[in-house]
Amino acid sequence: MGLRTVKQYKESLKDGREVYMYGEKVKDVTTHRALKTCVDTMALDYEAAELPKYKDLAIVFDPELGEEVSRYYYIPKTGEDLLKATDLIIEFTAYADGYIPLAKDIGADALNAIQITANMIGNKDYIDRINNFRKYLMKEDTAIVSAVTDVKGDRLLRPSDPKQVHPDFYVRVVDKNSKGIIVRGAKMHITGAAYSNEIFAIPCRAMTEQDKDYAVAFAIPCNTKGLKQICRPVKSEIGPMEFPCPRPLRMHTDSLIIFDDVLVPWERVFLCGEWQHAGLIALHFGLLHRRTGCAYRIPISEMFVGMAYAIAEYNGVLNVPHIREKLTDAAMYLQTLKALTRSACLDYVMHGGMPVPNPVTTNIGKYHFADKYHDLVKVIQDISGGSLITKPTYQDWQNPETHEYMKKYLSGKSGIPAEHRLRMYDLIRRWLASEYEVMVLHGEGSLMTQRMTILAEAKEELLRCKKIAEDIAGINP
């Protein structure tokens, strides 16, 4: 079949899958009021791949199949290949205005983790099965996500521990027959699963011999009998209080996936009982997926840094010393993430015959963006000021009785129309502003006002301390 179109992707989702959201069973995910936004977001992976400017990045000629295939499913052979796969994620996330399209990237992480593990343990059956499955993904250009995180029950107890309230907190094999294995359990937070074609399920941790029924990895179509998904709520459209935007809102939801005695055919089983190797799949998925995470955080962080710069400029405070310092921190956050992501690819290690992004650098990259993220948010909220949460709405902008007041009083620096400031506030608020966080920062005055007051009021005390130091240094006679 070759590379898919957006239309083919959307048609493929009308397959009788069992999905629930907002207390109802979803008839068709492509037309559902909330899920259609998510479907459109995932479809961007197919849409962007059709654009000539992304062709070299998105598509690779596979000599074995003799056809062009998605780079997501192409086996990387060098650090350059890793870098191109990373650039693909960065470009497509930028194309989706900071939302990861997600049709194939997380699935590809599980695909490669399974392949590396099969190669490392040298199991020919599993190597053949994953090779065949890869060819199927390449030929059909299938969307696939990864279900790794089990619901887990008591976190301190092993999956098979009899003290767990029941034995199904981690997905496990409950039966086997000539056709395949029967699995039961539940995975949680699985992004994009409601509008993917397939799901990889792999262990989320190392297993012991007692846990061997939980050492299972497989792939199944989303409409498999017994597979049920319950989605979390999403903001699926720009509401009436925000300025309408010509660029549609992008969004994903995550599913609680229940495997209610699901039959998985043998040819789709990639681990079954080999408890010693469960941790290897989980480890490699983590490594590959953290590189993916670093990649898609780059365009999102670019947007955040842009928000900080724009609102500083609109408010006329761009050249204030403490704002310049904060923008410097924001620039360092972004550049560190970019450098770590890139160097992790080039400084790769070989596992199971496949290049893997440098494990230490990748984990530092993921740690950096997550650990310092709240500092960046604080910078943006601080620069924005309290208007971020107290400004009137678009509905008031449209009301002739209040429009002119807003236009006059809510503009910023000369030349910056009120509408630009208000639109930027809408964007920042949509992504980053919890009302309470902003209230804490700006209620009773911004952080810098306290610092300035502290310095002024503590002057006498500082001079007294200076004298103490000078006395001890022998400066004052």
Ligand X SMILES: Cc1cc2nc3c(=O)[nH]c(=O)nc-3n(C[C@H](O)[C@H](O)[C@H](O)COP(=O)(O)OP(=O)(O)OC[C@H]3O[C@@H](n4cnc5c(N)ncnc54)[C@H](O)[C@@H]3O)c2cc1C
Which positions lie near ligand X, rule CB under 6 A? 106, 145-149, 152, 155-156, 189-191, 254
Whether 73 contacts 67, CB under 8 Å: no
Closest to ligand X by CB, 107 vs 355, is 107
Whether 171 contacts 187, CB under 8 Å: yes
C-alpha distances (whole Å) from 86 to each of 166, 183, 338 are: 41, 33, 11
To ligand X, the closest distance from the beta carbon of 174 in angstroms equals 21
Closest to ligand X by CB, 112 vs 384, is 112
To ligand X, the closest distance from the beta carbon of 226 in angstroms equals 19
For residues 176 and 265, give the distance between their C-alpha atoms in angstroms, rounded to a whole number: 10
- Residue 345: name the closest of 86, 112, 100 by CA: 86
Closest to ligand X by CB, 110 vs 137, is 110
Closest to ligand X by CB, 62 vs 254, is 254
Strand partners, 463: none
Closest to ligand X by CB, 42 vs 145, is 145
Closest to ligand X by CB, 377 vs 424, is 377
Closest to ligand X by CB, 158 vs 372, is 158
Which residues, 6+ apart, have CB-to-CB distance to 460 below 8 Å? none
Number of H helices and E strands in the chain, helices first, is 17, 14
To ligand X, the closest distance from the beta carbon of 366 in angstroms equals 11
To ligand X, the closest distance from the beta carbon of 441 in angstroms equals 24
To ligand X, the closest distance from the beta carbon of 152 in angstroms equals 6
SS3 category, 216: strand
To ligand X, the closest distance from the beta carbon of 190 in angstroms equals 5
What is the token pair recorded at 105? 């990237």
SS3 category, 238: coil
Closest to ligand X by CB, 155 vs 163, is 155
SS (H, E, C) 58-71: HEEEECCCCEEEEH
Closest to ligand X by CB, 290 vs 421, is 290
For residues 28 and 13, give the distance between their C-alpha atoms in angstroms, rounded to a whole number: 8
What is the token pair recorded at 439? 């209230």
- Residue 199: name the closest of 250, 142, 151 by CA: 142
To ligand X, the closest distance from the beta carbon of 457 in angstroms equals 40
Whether 288 contacts 320, CB under 8 Å: no
Torsion of CA 68, 74, 76, 81, to 10 degrees: 50
Phi/psi zone of residue 203: left (φ > 0), alpha (ψ -120 to 50 degrees), beta? Answer: beta
Reported as type and span, the H/E element at residue 330 is helix 321-346
To ligand X, the closest distance from the beta carbon of 279 in angstroms equals 14
To ligand X, the closest distance from the beta carbon of 17 in angstroms equals 17
